[in-house]
Homo-oligomer: A and B are copies of this chain.
Amino acid sequence: MDFFHGLSAFPPTPTDAEGQVDVAALSRLLDRIHAAGADSIGLLGSTGGYAYLSRGERRRAVEAAVDSVGGRTPVIVGIGALRTDSVQALARDAAKAGADGLLLAPMSYTPLTDEEVYQHFRAIAETTDLPLCIYNNPGTTKFTFSDGLIARLAQLENIVAIKMPLPADSDFGGELARLRPQNPNGFSIGYSGDWGAAGALLAGCDAWYSVIAGLLPAPALKLTRAAQAGDADEARRIDDAFQPLWTLFKAFGSFRVMYTVGSVLDLYRAEPPRPILPLSPQDHGRVEEALQGLIDGLSG
């Protein structure tokens, strides 16, 4: 299960206005990620818009992913949904289609208790043999995992990893030192929030669950490999080149910005699912500038 280590790239899922997946466009994105050498693909993550797709379209996306990169780059599939039985069905669909691992966020409408989240994850873990990563993303789920709940879930046999949000104080070293002893040896602790990736990797986290790597896998991989090798100067140099893009991610939300990145790079044409709106033409220009700055910064 090396795929919960290193760089996991989270592509957007190109769809039409009705939410039907453009599997050809998706496969092209996945081929790029494979070609760059990312350690895994995070299909149907928040960036992949899983919450806005039907069960049938999610199955089509997994099948297309396994068809295009299966057996070459591991495919981790987001299976979050509001109902436990829906998540169980999505887990079975993903396994049947050939997914390598699963990623589960406790999506909520009614705010959930710790015990409800525990029982929810346990029910899913009992449904599947695939290794499962806890998707800790309070910004979208409204649920915050306590250390105690993480430790309790990590006791379940196939819950082997967690994808953490950036700590408020950016103290990755402190958080890792606190979490490591509470969880089994080999339990993978990774981070999302691209602007914190360099710091998290340099502090020794196991994985970067990366939004930008979904469309720009090569520079994200360069940053990852530099940090994994302990080359802080090089990792910081690449991170600096990304800064204008991180600024836009923070201002508009990476989910919206990624659609514009895909369009600027001419990788695919799609709009986010309404009610999410695309960036304005003016902000589109800011994305172009940030991408040009990235190219210049990396070649410098």
Contacts and interface: CB of A to CB of B under 8 A. Distances in A.
Interface of A: 17-19, 46, 51-52, 82-85, 106-107, 109-113, 115-117, 119-120, 123, 139-140, 142, 253, 255-256, 273-277
A119 B256 CA distance: 16
Contact of A120 (B52, B140, B255, B275): B275
A201 to B, nearest CB: 26
A51 B277 contact: no
A107 B110 contact: no
Given A116-B275, A119-B275, A142-B142, A255 B110 contact: yes
A140 B110 contact: yes
B46 A109 contact: yes
Nearest to A275: B120
A179 B140 CA distance: 30
* Residue among A113, A140, A274 having the largest count of chain B Cβ atoms under 10 Å: A274
A111 B253 contact: yes
A18 B88 CA distance: 12
Contact of A52 (B109, B275, B276): B109
Contact of A274 (B17, B51, B85, B255): B85
Main secondary structure of the interface of A (DSSP, over half): loop
A106 B123 CA distance: 29
Most buried by B among A83, A110, A123, A253: A110
Contacts of A106: 275
A19 B140 contact: no
Contacts of A140: 109-111
A84 B17 CA distance: 10
A110 B253 contact: yes
A18 B83 CA distance: 9
12 contacts: A17-B85, A18-B85, A51-B110, A52-B82, A52-B109, A83-B275, A84-B273, A106-B275, A111-B139, A112-B276, A120-B275, A123-B275
A107 B115 CA distance: 24
A17 B116 CA distance: 16
A277 B115 contact: yes
Contact of A116 (B85, B109, B111, B276): B276
